[in-house]
Structures are given as structure tokens and as C-alpha cells.
Amino acid sequence: MQPISITGIGIVNSLGIGVERTWKNLLHNESGIKNITWDDKLDQDFYFRDYLKKCPVPVGAPLAHLPECPIPEFEKDWRHLDPSIQIALHSTWQAVTNAKLKSKNVAVIFGSIGSSHTRSQGCDAMSRGRVKFPPRKTLNFELGHMTAIISRVFGFNGPSLMVHTACSTGLTAMDYAQRMLETDPEIDAVIVGGGDLPLEATSAFYFSNLQALTSTDCRPFDKQRSGFVLGEGAGAMVLERKSSKQSYADILAVAGVTVGEHETSPDHAGEAAQQAALKAIKSANITPDQIEYINAHATGTVVGDIIEYNAMKNILPGRTMSANKGHIGHTICSSGIIETAYTALALRDQITPPVAYLSEECGQGMYLPKETQSLTNTKYAIKNNYAFGGRSMSVVLGKE
């Protein structure tokens, strides 16, 4: 595969709205994770009222507020969109503006767990015996509405599709994008992204019953880790063929391996994680010795973190390895996009944020920064994304 360049980025998450703002807050070791209550959701989630009165999810990484419509001529339509689509659209607008993208021969590939807030409103309406619901809101129920809206708003005429591989969705989108730019000369750019607002009833019910969530801080790679925190957020990246155009970094290769030993846990030997990383490194035409920085998936779960730690130690021992979920929570389908963007920014600025709340490391043999750390002459980095069902993916980034 030919390298592709990240020419534009957009981010909305619990650290703020905008790439540079959230990056600055991340470097300052700020966290968007806080105690939450569900009292303010009882009216808007009437259908789930009895559940929300005793919802067992006490912490989250919510947005401070939803962004306003950034496109004046679209303001009337904005109010009909599910909030997850609003933040996905806003991050796309940031990325397109950032990249100074003019072409309309652009494909859109996004991932999301769907418009849960609007679906909740629809369930509420049905529970009350209503047979009518606003048609423009009803459109949000269709999972592909996110990319359909993005393509329509910006006038993009390339393929417009949704992908979903659980928490590895972001890297799956990048993989499709690289293949599309390699094989379709009529496509000038691909926008990859995701948008999820999982601090709502159905996501809380789902993840808490899987016993994946913590009731305290998210502590990646710490001995006292106890699970992840649901984070709200969206991210988008404009990907173009490598040229003289200024870019944050280049995506050299994306690779994935599936070892489905368990429905939720990765394989205990970490073979899939190692194979995905080594496959990506080989496809990037570099050697493991050239990788100097790792942005880990590291959700803070008891099982997952130590498997990733040992997998990376086996193939990339002693490397600097950071993790972002202690600061922004797990933003589900957008996590791979947002965290790859932060990996590109780390290469651009030659600096990495610390690992949040790290007190005592879960293993030995890797370097986990507890404060902001300089990356000297680092040219290559790898970002991991893992998902239920043993789906492991890695992307190699390079910066000249």
C-alpha cells in the first residue's frame, strides 16, 4: 500500500472542542472524567426512567456542551440531528476546513454505535402509544444517516458508508480508506471518523452488564486498574495521497488480525496484538527497531491491559508507550480516530502526554511516562486498537 497523509483533523471530546485545544489540555494532564448522575436524563429518557434511577455507572467523560452548528446555511437542519451526528458533523467541518479541502470527489467512512438518544425518544413515544414521530428525527434511526448527512452537507460525491468492528472501528475505517485511495484514481480524499455519546441508558446497561466499567478513575496499565470509563466524543481525519501538501503525519500501513478465543477478551497469549503490529510494521516497509513510540489501546481493564503490555514488550521492548483513555474515557467507535490523531500530533510536536493516574505499573520492560515527555527525533509510531471478538488492529504512522 502507498502511504497516505493526514491533512486535516477535527476533534470533539470531554477536553473541549477543537484539535489544538484538546491537545493542549491533554499535554497539561487534564482529564474530562468526572462523577456523573443520571437525574438530568430522567425526563428525556422516560422510557428508561426506572433503570436510570438506579443506573450503576457513577463516572463518565461527558462533553461540557454540544457544539453549535458551524455552517450557517445548515442551521435549520441541525436541530433534527441526533447529538452523535452533530458532533461527527462538527469534527468533519473542522477537518475539512483544516485541510483546505476543495475537491468534491471525496469518500466518507465513519463508524458509530448509532443515534441512541433519538432512538430513546422514539421508544418513549411508542411506550406512550404515539404512532407519529417527526420524520426528520426518524431518519436518525438508520445507522447510515451519519455519513449520508456528511456527504450531503459538504457535497461529496464519493462512496459514503458506515463500518463497524466495535472498538477497532476507527482503524478499520483507515484500512478501507487506504485501499480506496490505492485502487480508485477518481477519489481525491477520504474522510474517516466516528461519533458516539455512550452516556445514555442503553450503552450504560450494555457495558455495565459486561462488567467492563470502573466506578473510579480509568487507570491504564496501573496495578489498581478496574475497568474503563464511557467517554463522549467524535473525531475526523482527512486522508489524501502523499504529496508535497503539508500534513500532520503519514499513515504508512494498517493491519488487522482476529483471534476469537472469547466474546470479549483478547487472546491471553497476545498473539493477535503482536501479529497485527508486526504485520503493519512489515507493510510499512520498516523494521520494529524503527518504531520508537506506541499509543496503546489500554482501556484500563484488568485483563486487556496486561495482555497488550506484554505483547508490546515482546516485540517492541523498552519503547515509550502512552494511553489516552485515562484523560478522555473510551469514546467507543471514535476512539481509534481520536487517538490516532493524538499520535500524529505527538509526532508533529515530538512530545507525548502522560499516562493518567499511573501509580504502579502493571508490568516491567516498557517506558510509561507519568508526565509530559519529549520524543527526540522520533519518526515512526504505532497505534493499537482492539475490539470484542479478538479483533486486533494496528496502524503505523511516520513523519519526515
pLDDT score of 1 more than 80: no
Read off the pLDDT of each residue in 4-13 and give the average, rounded to a whole number.
98
Asked whether this chain's domains 4-241 and 250-398 adopt the same fold, the reply is yes
Tell me the average pLDDT of the chain: 94
* pLDDT score, position 48: 87
Report whether pLDDT(81) > 90: yes
pLDDT more than 70, % of the chain: 96
Evaluate if residue 260 carries a pLDDT over 80: no
**Mean pLDDT value across residues 25-43:** 90
Q: Is the pLDDT of residue 185 over 80?
A: yes
Q: What is the 3-state secondary structure (H, E, C) of the chain?
A: CCCEEEEEEEEEECCEECHHHHHHHHHCCCCCCEECCCHHHCCCCHHHHHHHCCCCCCEEECCCCCCCCCCHHHHHHHCCCCHHHHHHHHHHHHHHHHHCCCCCCEEEEEECCCCHHHHHHHHHHHHCCCCCCCHHHHHHHCCCHHHHHHHHHHCCCCCEEECCECECHHHHHHHHHHHHHHHCCCCCEEEEEEEECCCCHHHHHHHHHCCCECCCCCCCCECCCCCECEECEEEEEEEEECCCCCCCEEEEEEEEEECCCCCCCCCCCCHHHHHHHHHHHHHCCCCHHHCCEEECCCCCCHHHHHHHHHHHHHHCCCCEEECCHHHHCECHHHHHHHHHHHHHHHHHHCEECCCCCCCCECCCCCECCCCCEECCCCCEEEEEEEECCCEEEEEEEECC
- Whether 157 shows a pLDDT value over 90: the answer reads yes
Mean pLDDT for 287-293 is 98
Of 382, 169, 388, 384, nearest to 259 by C-alpha is 388
pLDDT band at 145 (very low <50, low <70, confident <90, very high): very high
CATH number for the region 250-398 comes to 3.40.47.10
Whether residue 265 is predicted with pLDDT greater than 70 in this model: the reply is: no
Whether residue 269 has pLDDT greater than 90: no
- Domain ranges, ordered by start, for the chain: 4-241, 250-398
Instruction: Provide φ and ψ at 103, rounded to 5°.
Output: -65, 150
Range 4-241 has CATH code 3.40.47.10: yes
Q: What's the pLDDT score for residue 212?
A: 93
pLDDT tens per residue, range 308-363: 999 999 999 999 999 999 999 999 999 999 999 999 999 999 999 999 999 999 99
Predicted confidence band at 263 (pLDDT cuts at 50, 70, 90)? Answer: low
Q: What local confidence, expressed as pLDDT, does residue 42 receive?
A: 63
Percentage of the chain lying above the pLDDT 90 cut: 86
